[in-house]
Amino acid sequence: MSVRKRESAKKVVKVLDKVLKLEANSTSCLLVYEPKAPASLDRYKKLK
């Protein structure tokens, strides 16, 4: 592989690593925070 391809491959790996870390952290934060549903929505539930 040429030097230019190797350098660009390293940069792509760094960018993808940062994006994956950012997405994983933001997704886990959304899973932890679940707002409570209003009581008025209980009548629409299939199981009570």
Question: pLDDT (tens digit, 0 to 9) for every residue of the chain, 48 residues total?
Answer: 699 999 999 999 999 998 888 877 666 655 666 778 888 888 887 776
Phi and psi of 44, rounded to 5°? -95, -5
Whole-structure pTM value: 0.49
Q: Give the model's pLDDT for residue 26.
A: 67
Q: Can you say whether residue 36 is alpha, beta or left, with left for phi > 0 and alpha for psi between -120 and 50 degrees?
A: beta
Residue 25 DSSP code: H
Q: Give the model's pLDDT for residue 27.
A: 61
Structural domain boundaries of the chain? 1-25
